[in-house]
Amino acid sequence: MKRRLRFRVLDLVILGCIAACTIWVVHRVRVDLRYNWNWGVIPQFLFYHDKDQGRWVPNLLILGFMTTIKLSIWATLLATPIGTLMALFRNSRSLLRRMVGRTYVELIRNMPPLVLVFIVYYFISDQVIRAVGIEGLLRSLSPGTQDFLARCCAPVPKLPVFASAVVMLALYEGAYITEIVRGGIQSIERGQWEASGALGFTRWQQLRHVIFPQAIVRILPPLAGQVISTIKDSAIVSVISIQELTFQGMEIMSSTYRTFEIWITITAMYFIVTFACSLAVRRLELGMQRG
């Protein structure tokens, strides 16, 4: 039986307060700052018509949005195995492994992400990539391979910086994934460990065949929520000139002086993708509850 939605007096009061605050903010911006709104400049930074190709192509904001999505996907793909491994370390019987896992979590979670960005950037881009000679290897690739990398990650000249951003986000998000996976494993009843041990399973067999299949049901919803956090946290890499959505917004704002229009548009773009992920997570939770 469907529940009927009802608006109470308190709900109407809350809606009225929100509307009044919104009107007041817009009024103060227009009167005190004497700001003239001009939303007509926004569409040209989303798409523009390329006369050579004869079609509409993405412009700065859409390109930055796509870079944000790429960063989030690659960082999540790297952070998930890192977090899972560290979670297994934290649940290990070995004192050394437990200390390694805890040190990683405590170090990353208690470090400002901006500091972590610069540490990873200057170490990976300036030291590791140059020492290994990856830049020369990337330039020697065929045009087709370089085009494929540009579509999946970033153009070859910007790939080292992109890799630094991915590693930074993966390390940062991996610390939180570690705690999610660890909590899921430890939430399984002790009797499951005892029963599987009585059957002669080794520690790895217990995790693989008994504990982890049950824990994954409890891990997936918060793990999916962490993906949303990765999308939002990716804005921090704009400080190392990664041309993601926030960086592109700052560049456009400095050239057009359309502060409010640009940031409201960027906020809306972040909201669209994170809200879509939130709905997907909610459907996942409901499906797992029915299952």
116 in the same domain as 16: no
Mean per-residue pLDDT of the chain: 87
**From CA 223, how far away is CA 229, in angstroms rounded?**
10
Q: 237: closest CA among 183, 181, 162? A: 162
- Residue 65 vs residues 59, 196, 266, 282: alpha-carbon distances, Å: 10, 48, 9, 24
Say if 55 falls within a structural domain: yes
The reply to whether 221 falls in a domain is: yes
Beta bridge partners of 56: 49
pLDDT of res. 291: 63
Q: For 12-44, how does the pLDDT look when each residue is reduced to its tens digit (9 = 90+)?
A: 888 899 999 988 887 777 777 777 888 888 999
26 lies in the same domain as 54: no
Residue 147 lies in a domain: yes
Domain count, the chain: 2
DSSP string, 39-92: GGGSHHHHEEEETTTTEEEE-HHHHHHHHHHHHHHHHHHHHHHHHHHHHHHHT-
Domain co-membership, 151 together with 26: no
Q: What is the Cα gyration radius of the chain?
A: 24
* pLDDT (average), residues 268-278: 91
198 — pLDDT class (breaks 50, 70, 90)? confident
In a domain, 185, yes or no: yes
Closest CA to 207 of 74, 57, 90, 122: 90
Q: Are both 150 and 265 inside the same structural domain?
A: yes
Residues 25, 92 within the same domain = no
Question: In three state form, how does the secondary structure of 99-134 look?
Answer: HHHHHHHHHHHCCCHHHHHHHHHHHHHHHHHHHHCH
Of 288, 91, 127, 102, which Cα lies nearest the Cα of 207? Answer: 91
Mean pLDDT for 83-93 is 91
- My answer on whether 147 and 278 are in the same domain is yes
Written as six digits, the tokens of 68 are 């944000």
User: Is the model's pLDDT at 1 over the cut of 50?
Assistant: no
Give the pLDDT score at 179: 93
| Beta carbons within 10 angstroms of residue 123's beta carbon | 13
DSSP-assigned states of every residue in 222-274: HHHHHHHHHHHHGGGGGGGT--SHHHHHHHHHHHH--HHHHHHHHHHHHHHHH
Domain membership flag for residue 2? no
Query: By residue range, what is the domain housing residue 14?
Result: 8-37
Task: Please indicate, yes or no, whether residues 156 and 278 belong to a single structural domain of this protein.
Answer: yes
Amino acid 6: pLDDT: 64
Any domain includes 44 = no
Q: Which residue has the higher pLDDT, 131 or 159?
A: 159
**Residue 63 is which amino acid?**
L
Give the 3-state secondary structure of residue 186: helix
pLDDT at res. 84: 92
31 with 119, same domain: the answer is: no
pLDDT of residue 108: 93
Q: What is the CATH number of the domain that holds 180?
A: 1.10.3720.10
Query: Quick count: other Cβ atoms within 10 Å of Cβ 200?
Result: 7
Confidence of residue 212 (pLDDT cuts 50, 70, 90): confident
Per-residue CA distances from 264 to 28, 61, 241, 248, 261 (Å) = 16, 12, 21, 14, 5
Whether 88 and 216 map to the same domain: the answer is yes
Q: Are residues 153 and 31 in the same domain?
A: no
pLDDT of residue 76: 94
Asked if residue 23 belongs to a domain, the reply is yes
In this predicted model, what pLDDT tens digit does every residue of 135-193 receive, in sequence order?
A: 777 778 888 888 888 888 888 888 888 988 999 999 999 999 999 999 988 888 888 88
Who contacts 158 (Cβ-Cβ below 8 Å, separation ≥6)?
A: 243
Q: Is pLDDT at 128 greater than 90 in this prediction?
A: no
Looking at the predicted structure, is the pLDDT value of residue 237 above 70?
A: yes
Let me know whether 254 and 286 are in one domain. yes
Selection from 36, 63, 20, 5 nearest residue 247 by Cα:
63
> Two tokens at 286?
């409901």
Query: What pLDDT score was predicted for residue 67?
Result: 94
Question: Does residue 291 or residue 82 have the better pLDDT?
Answer: 82
165 half-sphere exposure, CB direction, 13 A CA radius: 29
137 and 277 assigned to the same domain: yes
User: Is 1 part of any domain?
Assistant: no
Q: Does residue 270 contact residue 231 with C-beta atoms inside 8 Å?
A: yes
